[in-house]
Structure 1
Amino acid sequence: MPTAPTWDPGQYLRHAGHRARPFADLLARVPALPRDPARIADLGCGPGNVTVLLADRWPTAHITGYDNSPEMLDKAHTDHEGPTRGGGGLDFAHADARHWTPAEPYDLIISNATLQWVPGHAHRFPDWIGALTPGGTFAFQVPGNFGSPSHRLMREIAHSARWKDRLGDTLRHDDAVLTPEAYLEHLTALGCTADVWETTYLHLLEGEDPVLDWVKGTGLRPVLTELGEDAEDFVTEYRAALRQEYPPTGHGTVFPFRRVFAVATKKA
């Protein structure tokens, strides 16, 4: 079994502005919550930089960000934990989305670019929606770009003769996320009113090898963790392939990124 990836908050936050935009777009579609003050869970909160946007929208709420990375939680505790301007509070706790079952009712359970790391995550939906208060919402977004060059090249190199013995089962693809239609079916079957859509962002990245810099904070983490000190040889090979697929322009490097969104509201 592959080693659980080690996360680097500093590397992840290098593209914080681009990464936060899908969360803001998701949040804009979340309806009014049934209680005030609300109880909110951010599942897979990372370093907490987008969790704080929940406090801007619901300043009286008690918000808990959950993550299974000690590195990410340390950053979140240090930078964002404490009372919010409207009298609410923001805290962070360890939890693994593969096993997390809410111990109390929530008005909103939201997850940003996390569920792709959870095999069979749609099977967790009944527990999470079951824990919502009547009229509460479950909302998430996941990357839908596993067929893009950035991920295809990573898999091709990992499965090459040089690396397949060490990385053959490290990277997931076909079962990482579902189609929008499948998410809609799962959520409506649980009695929710569901809004599901997809968007492809055209991120204009700056700097040298910016697509590599991006994936070093997310999708490449399992490879970097598995190879350890030997990772640089893989990165050198991968960098050369990425340069062919993502050439710089006079204004930066264009990185298309498809994402899938879902907002499911439980009947009141």
Structure 2
Amino acid sequence: MAEDWNPALYLSFEDERTRPPRDLLARVPLSQPRRIVDLGCGPGNSTELLAQRWPQAEVTGIDTSPAMIEQARLRVPGARFDIGDISTWELPEATDLLFANAVMQWVPDHLDVLARLVEGLPEGGVLAVQMPDNVGEPSHLLMEETAAAGPWAGRVAGAGREALLGVGAYYDRLAPLARHVDVWHTLYNHPLEGPSAIADWFRSTGLRRFLAPLDEAERAAFLEDYTARLAQAYPARVDGRVLLRFPRLFIVAVR
């Protein structure tokens, strides 16, 4: 069984991680949704935004991680949280908003899943999605380099996440199912304390698949090698910090 997600590590960059769902939420064209589902709710930081904007709505969060669900229940006690897999999850009737922040990139065949979710919405319902579009960034290319260069190469080959599809693929699949589809990119530049902070950021997400097969000593060696490579790719700025360039893809589809 894969090691569970680490809510505390994930939330050590809470401000930076919560900015994209705030930006996505600002583009949701609903005034009084009755039922909202936060798909892949994580530790509840995105669910909290939804509950605050629409306090009268019935808000549910689902996630595959028991640790994340436990944290979310503590954070947003007024919402309901369930363990669930988006790949097989059935959309409840009369759901006005499906909110999926930084989760669909982990779902196999996610374009088919997105289409199924849009089709399940009532007229006027909204699917709002944000996905990291960063596998071509140094942060991820260096994961692959580190994996290929060490004694662990045979065990972590292919551990990286697949690249997202092109914008046109999402538009072409969803536009026939919706009356309006908006697709855009936002490029964030996060000032972080240094290369070790970048490694910490991804230890809770993209690096998990690389580190999971390794023992404790190998994990430490992998992180040391990866961090050294990051130091070359992300030079210190005038204040000593580094800038983590982070492109993200956004989709809002109105049924």
Q: Which TM-score band applies after superposition, normalised by the shorter structure? A: over 0.9
Contact 2:33 2:97 (8 Å CA) reproduced = no
Task: List runs of 5+ in structure 2 lacking aligned partners.
Answer: none
CA distance, structure 2, for counterparts of residue 53 and residue 161 of structure 1: 42
Pair 1:7-2:15 in alignment: no
Note closer, same or farther for the CA distance 1:120–1:64 as it changes in structure 2 (3 Å cut). same
Pair 1:239-2:224 in alignment: no
Residue 258 of structure 1 is matched in structure 2 by 247
Residue 86 of structure 1 is matched in structure 2 by none
TM-score w.r.t. length of structure 2: 0.94
Note closer, same or farther for the CA distance 1:107–1:37 as it changes in structure 2 (3 Å cut). closer
CA distance, structure 2, for counterparts of residue 189 and residue 220 of structure 1: 36
TM-score w.r.t. length of structure 1: 0.89
Note closer, same or farther for the CA distance 1:37–1:31 as it changes in structure 2 (3 Å cut). closer
1:201-230 alpha-carbon deviations (Å, 9 max, x no partner): 111112562111111121111122222423
* 1:142-153 aligned within 5 A: 142-153=131-142
Query: Residue 212 of structure 2: SS of its match in structure 1?
Result: helix
Contact 1:8 1:71 (8 Å CA) reproduced = yes
Q: Which amino acid aligns with 2:249?
A: V
Pair 1:162-2:160 in alignment: no
2:204 aligned to 187, 194, 217, which one?
A: 217
Task: List runs of 5+ in structure 1 lacking aligned partners.
Answer: 83-89
Where in structure 1 do 4 or more consecutive aligned residues deviate above 3 Å? none
Larger mean CA deviation between 163-172 and 116-125 belongs to: 163-172
After superposition, the CA RMSD in angstroms is: 1.6
Residue 172 of structure 2 is matched in structure 1 by 185
Residue 58 of structure 2 is matched in structure 1 by 62
Q: Which amino acid aligns with 2:219?
A: A
Note closer, same or farther for the CA distance 1:211–1:37 as it changes in structure 2 (3 Å cut). closer
CA distance, structure 2, for counterparts of residue 191 and residue 208 of structure 1: 42
2:118 aligned to 121, 129, 133, which one?
A: 129
Q: Which amino acid aligns with 1:223?
A: F
Pair 1:76-2:76 in alignment: no
CA distance, structure 2, for counterparts of residue 147 and residue 37 of structure 1: 37
Contact 2:91 2:120 (8 Å CA) reproduced = yes
Task: Provide the aligned length of Structure 1 versus Structure 2.
Answer: 253
Note closer, same or farther for the CA distance 1:216–1:163 as it changes in structure 2 (3 Å cut). same
1:205 aligned to 169, 172, 192, which one?
A: 192
Contact 2:183 2:250 (8 Å CA) reproduced = yes
Contact 1:180 1:198 (8 Å CA) reproduced = no
CA distance, structure 2, for counterparts of residue 114 and residue 161 of structure 1: 29
Note closer, same or farther for the CA distance 1:170–1:5 as it changes in structure 2 (3 Å cut). farther
Identity of aligned residues (%): 43
Query: Residue 140 of structure 2: SS of its match in structure 1?
Result: helix
1:219-266 alpha-carbon deviations (Å, 9 max, x no partner): 111122222423111111111101111122232211110000000001
1:17 aligned to 15, 18, 25, which one?
A: 15
1:110-138 alpha-carbon deviations (Å, 9 max, x no partner): 10000111121011123211221210100
Q: Which amino acid aligns with 1:241?
A: R
Deviation of the 1:32 alpha carbon: 1.5
Note closer, same or farther for the CA distance 1:109–1:196 as it changes in structure 2 (3 Å cut). same
Q: Which amino acid aligns with 1:81?
A: P
Deviation of the 1:184 alpha carbon: 1.2
